[in-house]
């Protein structure tokens, strides 16, 4: 009886998705998001598991953001499971989000192969960024836990995030909670860098490996001090640099390229290639931050760049010309 009921529910999900094309707000469907990854910075690849707690009274399309990491991150779906009274009809994954059509209450787990979550910086350091600020419109709570293979010291500049790090057996764990921006640098432990056989009393000519290790360590420390000073100055005001997000940049550029004559939201969607819900969330945040203004003309709403938005547009064009 239970199997028959489940089959009927799944069938109803499929039929409803094809006939009604239901597309409702994700914010009312996800109560919590948990991102958990085991990642090798050297190979720049690993496994990411996302657990979403879902409550959907009617069939909905749920969008789970993947773009909380840097814009170069890539994802491939390996598998998905769900529990409780949740029924799922397929998962579609891109590098920016996972779109799921579902109904009911329970947990949805996505398992993905991830690449390019970190960027190599300095000599032997790795830059890792997390931006959960936009998730405040989607869920009530968010946690990001990353297990990096290898022993690293971690330095970071964060805005509105709680974070902690600890060493495990041949691994380093980083945990971030809340909504905000985190920029972290992973530096291999001094022990690993300098663990070189000690020359004997008559072997002290020039140990190039020791010299290279020392120079690398000094370069990393110098870069780290400069980087974090600059980042703290930028982030101390408690605002996220929206121009660091490729989606915000695409929207601002589309509006500027139009001569700032005003675009409909549907035109922004077509020009940027972003989903309707993503554009809606991004426009809301850009309006709150003073980058855009939305004006009504008849029964249509047109989006314009403000002076602040035009300045951001000129910055994007200048950076793109370099």
How far out from the chain centre does Cα 14 lie?
30
The whole domain housing 252 covers 242-320
Band of pLDDT at residue 7, cut at 50, 70 and 90: low
Cα–Cα distance, 248 to 153 (Å, whole number): 32
Torsion of CA 265, 270, 274, 280, to 10 degrees: 10
Query: Could you read off the pLDDT of 64-75 as tens digits, one per residue?
Result: 999 898 888 899
pLDDT at 8: 53
Structural contact between residues 224 and 257, judged by C-beta atoms closer than 8 angstroms? no
- Name the burial class of residue 314, with classes exposed (0-12), middle (13-18) and buried (19+) by CB atoms within 10 angstroms of its CB: exposed
DSSP 271: H
Span 75-87, mean pLDDT?
93
* CATH number of the domain to which 300 belongs: 1.10.10.10
91 lies in some domain:
no
Residue identified by tokens 């530096």 is: 187
Cα–Cα distance, 286 to 252 (Å, whole number): 9
Residue identified by tokens 């069939």 is: 59
Band of pLDDT at residue 190, cut at 50, 70 and 90: low
Given a cut of 90, whether residue 237 has pLDDT beyond it is no
Higher pLDDT, 23 or 111: 111
226 lies in some domain:
no
The token pair that represents 64 in the structure block? 């789970």
pLDDT at 305: 94
Query: Could you read off the pLDDT of 136-172 as tens digits, one per residue?
Result: 888 999 999 999 999 999 988 888 889 999 998 899 9
273 lies in some domain:
yes
Band of pLDDT at residue 285, cut at 50, 70 and 90: confident
The token pair that represents 13 in the structure block? 């999900």
pLDDT at 25: 43
What phi and psi values does residue 192 have, to the nearest 5 degrees?
A: -70, -40
Q: Find the DSSP H helices in 172-306.
A: 190-194, 208-235, 246-257, 265-272, 276-288
How far out from the chain centre does Cα 246 lie?
11
115 lies in some domain:
no
pTM of the predicted model over 0.85: no
315 lies in some domain:
yes
| Helix H or strand E encompassing 107 | strand 97-115
144 lies in some domain:
no
311 lies in some domain:
yes
Look at residues 268, 260, 263 and name the one whose alpha carbon lies nearest to residue 307.
Answer: 260
Cα–Cα distance, 175 to 144 (Å, whole number): 6
Structural contact between residues 47 and 79, judged by C-beta atoms closer than 8 angstroms? no
Number of domains in the chain: 1
178 lies in some domain:
no
Given a cut of 50, whether residue 32 has pLDDT beyond it is yes
């Amino acid at each position: 009886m239970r199997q028959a009921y489940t089959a009927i529910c799944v069938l109803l999900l499929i039929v409803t998705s094809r006939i009604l094309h239901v597309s409702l707000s994700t914010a009312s469907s996800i109560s919590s998001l948990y991102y958990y990854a085991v990642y090798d910075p050297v190979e720049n690849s690993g496994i990411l598991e996302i657990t979403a707690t879902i409550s959907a009274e009617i069939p909905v399309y749920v969008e789970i953001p993947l773009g909380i990491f840097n814009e170069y991150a890539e994802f491939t779906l390996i598998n998905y499971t769900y529990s409780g009274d949740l029924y799922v009809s397929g998962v579609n994954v891109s590098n920016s989000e996972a779109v799921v059509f579902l109904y009911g209450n329970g947990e949805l787990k996505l398992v993905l192969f991830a690449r390019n979550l970190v960027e190599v910086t300095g000599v032997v350091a790795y830059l890792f960024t997390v931006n959960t600020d936009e998730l405040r419109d989607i869920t009530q709570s968010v946690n990001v836990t990353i297990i990096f293979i290898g022993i690293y010291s971690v330095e970071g500049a964060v805005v509105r995030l709680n974070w902690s790090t600890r060493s495990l057996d041949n691994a380093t764990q980083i945990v971030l909670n809340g909504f905000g921006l985190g920029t972290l640098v992973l530096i291999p432990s001094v022990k690993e860098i300098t663990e070189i056989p000690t020359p004997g009393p008559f072997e002290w000519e020039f140990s190039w490996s020791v010299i290279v290790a020392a120079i690398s360590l000094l370069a990393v420390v110098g870069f780290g001090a400069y980087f974090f000073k600059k980042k703290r100055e930028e982030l101390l005001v408690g605002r996220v640099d929206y121009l660091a997000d490729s989606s915000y940049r695409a929207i601002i550029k589309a509006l500027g390229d139009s001569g700032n004559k005003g675009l409909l939201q549907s035109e922004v969607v077509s020009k940027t290639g972003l989903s309707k819900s993503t554009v809606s969330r991004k426009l809301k945040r850009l309006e709150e931050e003073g980058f855009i203004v939305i004006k009504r003309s008849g029964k249509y709403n047109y989006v314009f760049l403000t002076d602040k938005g035009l300045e951001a547009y000129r910055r994007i064009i200048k950076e793109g010309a370099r």
